[in-house]
Amino acid sequence: MTLTVTYRIVGISLGVMLFASAGLAAEPAEVEKFVKARIEVGEMMMNYFQGGANFGGGQQPSPEQMRSMGADIQAKLGNVLSKHDLTVEEYRKRSPEVFADEAAVKGYLNEHPDLKQRYEALPLDRMGRGGSTGRGY
């Protein structure tokens, strides 16, 4: 399996989170929660697909394996988000609004250099960068 297929799987799994929506300015506590959640989700996804180990030796997964991976990713995503008192649905609904407030996100990251470094290390160009929401997770 090529890395292109791997990235497509990741993109499909998280593609719902990429839609843009207009929203009000995010509250600082909300920005903190969503930035930390996005970092952890991104790191979880990078670790999940690192080296293609979850694909059975580099071969393209079967439809059954794809469904299984999708369910596994959904479960892992739910676990990560629950640490931040979020559900997958809440995160998908609110994250475009929170991340649309780029000034608030950049301000928060500038105040927390350790988180900024982790945030910027996410593989954004492979995850659908270019939308108005910024990060592809």
Is position 70 within any domain?
A: yes
86: in domain: yes
Quote the number of domains for the chain: 1
Whether 133 maps to a domain, the answer reads: no
What is the block-wise mean pLDDT of the chain (137 residues), using blocks of 10 residues?
Answer: 60 50 68 95 88 61 88 94 95 93 95 95 58 44
Let me know if residue 75 belongs to a domain.
Answer: yes
pTM, full prediction = 0.69
Residue 117: inside a domain: yes
Q: Specify if 81 maps to a domain.
A: yes
Nearest-angstrom CA–CA distance, 43 and 128: 16
* Structure-derived torsion over alpha carbons of residues 67, 38, 99, 117, reported in degrees to the nearest 10: -140
Domain that holds residue 13: 3-126
